[in-house]
Amino acid sequence: MTLREQLKAGVASLAPVALGLSAFICLGAGTALAQSTPSPSDFLNAASDPANWILPAKSYFGNHYTPATQITPENVTGLHLAWKTTLDDAGPMENSPIVYDGTMYVTTAHDHVYALDAATGKVKWEFTYSPHVIAFAANRGIGLMDGNVYIGTLDGHLIALNAETGQKVWDKVTVEDTANSFYTMAPVPYYPPGGGQGVLLLGVSNGDWGGNGKITAFNPTDGSVVWSWTSIPGPGEPNHDSWGGDSWKRAGGSMWGGVTIDTATQTMYLNVGNPTPDFLATVRPGDNLYTDSMVALDISGAQPKLKWYHQFIPHDTHDWDPPMQPILFNGKVGNTEEELVATGDKAGNFWLLNAATGDLVDHTAVSFQKGQDTPPSLTGNYACPNTLGGVEYQGGSYDPATNAVLLPSQNECGFWTADKDAVYVAGQFYIAGAFPKLVGPNTGQMNAIDVSTGVFEWRHHFDLPNYGGALATASGLVFSGNLGGTENAFDTQTGNILWSYDTGAYIQAPTEAYEVNGQEYIVVASGAAGNAAIPELPAAGQQSIVSTFTLK
């Protein structure tokens, strides 16, 4: 090699940057994709596709599990940052990126949408928005269908954007009461298996603000309502008598945690949020159905029909709803294989149900629990976990190789107070008390729970909460982000941490895997701590960041 070649070779380390930039120049010309959004069969087969990640929890089964196997326990130490893109919005990052055909769609706290080149992180287009924030600025992602990107916003709009350009196609206010209702959940595309009109499934966030929970199937062409289902039974409906007096009118029960669907039977599994007012339960006597429950809905007809419900916490007094999207899987219990559905709640419980009947199969306490039978009082009292503790929304995964559910949990305690009476004020929390004051250490765990026995196969304890959900890989790894900002890879068998990376901002978003040009990537978003802020958090940047990792 001549010196000049050597010099060039030396400069070759420059190439990724330089090429990236020049590739960017060409973007203006627009490279049209043959098909910009997934087909109905792509959605049906989402679980077995190692390349694309087209539903918030990988597939309709709610299982954050990838068949991709390039990254293994043996080579994971060689995992390094592939790219990192900082997005121009301040707030917590809670989104599940959607990756299809080399493009990644991510959102930020104030409903900005970015289409990124999944191999380089370069911004292909962006959509910015400035919604009025009712309470929490956060967005959990987009839905991709029929050539469009769909986002539900903090000011109650459902917006369709052209998936290739980011141009607005339509924009409609789809909540009923903009004073107390908004969207944070990612709209979920669903095509009935027999053909027919596809729909977008979207639950409204209004529970803690004095609304009643509702999940709606919207027509993706214009935002019109195909059907909707309310979680609080009205007069004349079964279980209406689980609400004393008029308390059912402002009752909570939001369904904003994501939908799990058994496409074979067209059964939708949904978790229903807490009852309101959260902390003064005396004004709502009864079990308060279907709050704090999992419901199974038959969605094969024109209107969903309730198949079964399983209430985890009757008459909740502490906002301990199950925010986690249910995981539907075939697992071994004893020696028999069963169709199971698993979830967790903020009271620190892991629940395993029979998917066909809703009967309880097993229950494991995953967080420190204390004072759970005493409702908050006027002068206040302690209970654990607090509303940020237990199992949160980011979800978990089932690993068939070990017959284990991988699930993070938090140990956080709180001091709770209730008010004398419950007063509804439009646009304010309808909680009749205060969200708990943090007390004591706030820590987290990563758990592997044996489905057969309900006993931990292993637990890893962190000094900080571990909100990042769990991504299991077919190669035997579990990825999860710690609130402090570190993304970790565990050995699924042993629970040993094999690899870590500090993203530089706080992680509250789930981890995902995808492939571009045959190369496997891991992605996680991080940002401000926001309402999850705790005193012991290390100082970190509050920028909104998307980080991806790959092997050399």
Partner 1 sequence: MLPWNVHPPARFTGPAFFMAVAFLLAASILPPAACAAPLSDHQATLSALSDVQAAIAEIVGADQSYSTDKKVYYRASQRAINALEGTRGPEYVAAAGSAGDAAGAIGHIDSLLDRKETPVWAPVLDSAEANIRAAIAHLADARHAHELMDYDIAVSRALTYLLVARGGPADIGAFGGLEGVLANTVLGVPDGATIADGCAEPTAAPSYGVHGGYLAWVAVPAGEGTHQLAESAGEQSVIIRNGMILLPTAAAPLVAKECNSHAQVRPSSPSQATATATLSQPAKTTASGADSAPPALYTKAQAEAGAQVFASKCALCHGANLQGTAAPSVAGTDFLSTAQHNGWTLEVIRYLVFNDMPFNAPASLSSTEYADVLAFLLASNCYPAGDKPFPTADDPGFANVKLGPVPGSHPGKNQFGVCPDG
Only one of the segments 187-195, 342-350, 449-457, 536-544 lies at the binding site for partner 1 (rule: CB under 8 A); that segment is: 536-544
Nearer to partner 1, 153 or 271 (CB): 153
Nearer to ligand HEC, 207 or 396 (CB): 207
Identified binder of partner 1 from the candidate list 24, 227, 382, 456, rule CB under 8 A: 24
What is the footprint of ligand HEC within residues 510-539 (CB under 6 A)? 531, 533
What is the footprint of partner 1 within residues 110-129 (CB under 8 A)? 110, 121-123, 126, 128-129
> H or E stretch including 462?
strand 456-462
Closest approach, Cβ 545 to partner 1, in A, equals 8
Closest approach, Cβ 148 to partner 1, in A, equals 19
Closest approach, Cβ 377 to partner 1, in A, equals 14
Closest approach, Cβ 428 to ligand HEC, in A, equals 4
CA dist 392 and 343 (Å) reads 10
Query: Which residues 6+ apart lie within 8 Å of 5 measured at CB?
Result: none
Only one of the segments 196-204, 285-293, 299-307, 540-548 lies at the binding site for partner 1 (rule: CB under 8 A); that segment is: 540-548
CA dist 484 and 272 (Å) reads 29
Residue 429 lies near partner 1 (rule: CB under 8 A): yes
CA dist 462 and 503 (Å) reads 17
Identified binder of partner 1 from the candidate list 134, 268, 355, 361, rule CB under 8 A: 134
Only one of the segments 62-70, 86-94, 258-266, 487-495 lies at the binding site for partner 1 (rule: CB under 8 A); that segment is: 86-94
Closest approach, Cβ 475 to partner 1, in A, equals 24
Residue 7 lies near partner 1 (rule: CB under 8 A): yes
Closest approach, Cβ 490 to ligand HEC, in A, equals 30
What is the footprint of ligand HEC within residues 412-431 (CB under 6 A)? 428-429
Residue 32 lies near partner 1 (rule: CB under 8 A): no
- CB neighbours (10 Å) of residue 72? 14
* Best CA proximity match to 96, nearest among 395, 513, 509, 407: 509
DSSP track, 73-131? TTTGGG-EEEEEEEES--S------EEETTEEEEE-TT--EEEEETTT--EEEEE---P
CA dist 118 and 141 (Å) reads 16
Closest approach, Cβ 388 to ligand HEC, in A, equals 10
- CB neighbours (10 Å) of residue 135? 16
Query: Which residues 6+ apart lie within 8 Å of 140 measured at CB?
Result: 56, 94, 95, 96, 107, 184, 185, 186, 393
Nearer to ligand HEC, 180 or 492 (CB): 180
Residue 417 lies near partner 1 (rule: CB under 8 A): yes
Q: Which does 391 bind (CB under 5 to 8 A by kind): ligand HEC, partner 1, none?
A: none
Nearer to ligand HEC, 121 or 527 (CB): 527
Closest approach, Cβ 427 to ligand HEC, in A, equals 6
Only one of the segments 19-27, 43-51, 212-220, 322-330 lies at the binding site for partner 1 (rule: CB under 8 A); that segment is: 19-27
Nearer to ligand HEC, 140 or 460 (CB): 140
Query: For residues 299 and 233, is the Cβ–Cβ distance under 8 A?
Result: no
CA dist 106 and 428 (Å) reads 29
Distances (CA, A) of 484 to 85, 107, 487, 506: 19, 21, 9, 5
Identified binder of partner 1 from the candidate list 40, 50, 131, 454, rule CB under 8 A: 131
Can you say how many angstroms the Cα of residue 530 is from the centroid of all Cα atoms in its chain?
A: 17
Q: What track of x and - describes contact with ligand HEC for positions 428 through 467 (by CB under 6 A)?
A: xx--------------------------------------
Residue 520 lies near partner 1 (rule: CB under 8 A): no
The radius of gyration of the chain from alpha carbons, rounded to an integer in Å, stands at 23
Residue 3 lies near partner 1 (rule: CB under 8 A): yes
Residue 385 lies near partner 1 (rule: CB under 8 A): no
Residue 137 lies near partner 1 (rule: CB under 8 A): yes
What is the footprint of ligand HEC within residues 109-168 (CB under 6 A)? 134-136
Residue carrying structure tokens 């709180």 = 414
Closest approach, Cβ 419 to partner 1, in A, equals 8
Query: For residues 109 and 92, is the Cβ–Cβ distance under 8 A?
Result: yes
Closest approach, Cβ 280 to ligand HEC, in A, equals 16
What is the footprint of partner 1 within residues 210-239 (CB under 8 A)? none
Only one of the segments 23-31, 65-73, 369-377, 456-464 lies at the binding site for partner 1 (rule: CB under 8 A); that segment is: 23-31
Only one of the segments 242-250, 281-289, 361-369, 530-538 lies at the binding site for partner 1 (rule: CB under 8 A); that segment is: 530-538
DSSP track, 188-204? EEE--TT-S--EEEEE-
Residue 133 lies near partner 1 (rule: CB under 8 A): yes
Query: For residues 483 and 539, is the Cβ–Cβ distance under 8 A?
Result: no
φ/ψ (deg, to 5) at 249: -75, -35
Q: Are strands 267-271 and 293-298 parallel, antiparallel or unpaired?
A: antiparallel
* Best CA proximity match to 479, nearest among 394, 402, 364: 394
Query: For residues 162 and 126, is the Cβ–Cβ distance under 8 A?
Result: no
Residue carrying structure tokens 């290390």 = 538
Which parts of this chain interact with ligand HEC (CB under 6 A)?
Answer: 134-136, 428-429, 531, 533
